[in-house]
């Protein structure tokens, strides 16, 4: 059975900086992989140190360096290759076995195979060349490092272990498409296990895929209790225009009653905050929390301008109603 563990990496601009090891490494106990550089343009972007993300015009190319680590206590042979990926049902889905797609076919690796001693590493350069005739749009792939355990004494084939670096590549002329999202409906429920869960609808309103993660805190609870921070139980990956649910499981010991919710969601440098009154209820009951109290953030500057215009129009109408009607000249008709 293939064991899949996705890595964290980044790539983006022509100028790169060393990528923080703590943010860029992924391992499953036998094999590890991490990017060794990240784009300067995304220096402050946590997602840029987690995934390979870039925007290129047709005909352009980029190269990024990463390393593979032998985490076992024996000499192992590693295969390094690019495979397909897609976005399905709010998840980043990996192709089966060594399945390829358009983006993976654009990836060239400086090394496809190496044998490493325990604890040894090898550096590999990945080069992505976008064909001149490539169409506009975002594409997805994975760069894998894979090893197979030696057969046991009974001749059973060892399990395949692999970890990989996700690749999110936007193709098209001009600058990078925008990344944005909105927070929608918030549902509060407590399961039969007694665990409260906060489910939040998120809409990807931008033109690039997003990986939504975040934290929430509770305050002003019964007896002025506070709780948190709580992490989202999963990271939701949303394609452009898609909507999905992110969930945070809380502490089963939290009492029912009114609370104040502070929710922070992010995908890279794109961040949203929601401050909301909620009520925790017994199992079997749930509530849909309104986000209207956060309406100013929803409407933004454009909505605020419309509100101001509407108020001004209303005042003008009321003022005119209070003024006496103007005299109208009358000219009799001569037959």
* Predicted local confidence at residue 50, as pLDDT: 74
In a domain, 120, yes or no: yes
Same domain, 106 and 231: no
Same domain, 110 and 234: no
Same domain, 144 and 255: no
Same domain, 80 and 143: yes
Last residue of a domain, one of 141, 171, 201: 171
Identify the CATH number of the domain in which residue 211 sits: 2.60.40.10
pLDDT tens profile 36-45: 887 788 778 7
Same domain, 148 and 217: no
Same domain, 114 and 261: no
pLDDT tens profile 193-230: 999 999 999 999 999 999 999 999 999 999 999 999 99
CB 129 within 8 A of CB 61: yes
Same domain, 165 and 191: no
In a domain, 333, yes or no: no
Same domain, 235 and 291: yes
CA distance 261 to 250: 12
Q: Which residue has the higher pLDDT, 287 or 330?
A: 287
Q: Residue 309 burial by CB count (10 A; 0-12/13-18/19+): exposed, middle or buried?
A: exposed
DSSP per residue, 110-139: S-SEEEE-TT-EEEEEEEEE--TTPPSEEE
CB 273 within 8 A of CB 216: no
pLDDT at 156 over 90: no
pLDDT tens profile 94-134: 999 899 999 999 999 999 999 999 999 999 999 999 999 99
Domain that holds residue 143: 3-171
pLDDT at 334 over 60: no
In a domain, 332, yes or no: no
Same domain, 144 and 48: yes
pLDDT at 314 over 70: no
Same domain, 91 and 25: yes
Number of domains in the chain: 2
Helix runs in the chain, H state only: 21-24, 102-105, 295-322
Last residue of a domain, one of 126, 146, 171: 171
pLDDT tens profile 230-260: 999 878 899 999 999 999 999 999 999 999 9
Record the pTM.
0.76
pLDDT tens profile 261-270: 999 999 999 9
Mean pLDDT of the region 57-86: 94
């Amino acid at each position: 059975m293939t064991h899949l563990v996705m890595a964290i990496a980044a790539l983006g601009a022509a100028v790169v900086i060393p990528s923080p090891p703590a943010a860029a490494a992924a391992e499953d106990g036998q094999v590890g992989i991490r990017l060794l550089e990240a784009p300067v343009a995304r220096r402050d972007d946590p997602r840029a140190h987690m995934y390979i993300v870039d925007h290129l015009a047709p005909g352009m190319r980029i190269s990024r360096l990463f390393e593979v680590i032998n985490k076992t206590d024996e000499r192992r042979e590693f295969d390094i290759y690019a495979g397909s990926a897609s976005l399905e049902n709010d998840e980043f889905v990996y192709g089966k076995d060594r399945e390829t797609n358009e983006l993976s076919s654009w990836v060239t690796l400086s090394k496809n195979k190496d044998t490493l001693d325990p604890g040894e590493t090898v550096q590999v350069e990945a080069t992505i060349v976008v064909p001149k005739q490539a169409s506009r749009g975002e594409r997805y792939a994975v760069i894998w490092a894979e090893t197979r355990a030696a057969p046991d004494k009974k001749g059973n084939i060892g399990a395949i272990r692999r970890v990989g670096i996700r690749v999110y590549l936007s193709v098209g002329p001009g600058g990078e498409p925008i990344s944005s999202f909105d927070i929608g409906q918030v549902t509060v429920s407590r399961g039969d296990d007694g665990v409260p869960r906060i489910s939040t609808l998120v809409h990807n309103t931008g033109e690039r895929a997003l990986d939504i993660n975040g934290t929430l805190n509770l305050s002003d609870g019964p007896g002025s209790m506070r709780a948190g921070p709580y992490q989202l139980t999963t990271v939701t990956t949303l394609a452009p225009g898609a909507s999905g649910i992110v969930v945070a499981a809380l502490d089963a010991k939290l009492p029912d009653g009114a609370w104040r919710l502070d929710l922070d969601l992010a995908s890279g440098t794109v961040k949203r905050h929601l401050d909301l009154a909620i009520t925790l209820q017994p199992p079997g009951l749930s509530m849909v929390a309104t986000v209207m109290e956060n309406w100013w953030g929803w409407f933004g500057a454009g909505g605020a301008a419309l509100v101001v215009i509407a108020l001004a129009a209303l005042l003008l109408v009321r003022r005119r109603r209070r003024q006496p009607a103007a005299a109208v000249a009358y000219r009799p008709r001569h037959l």
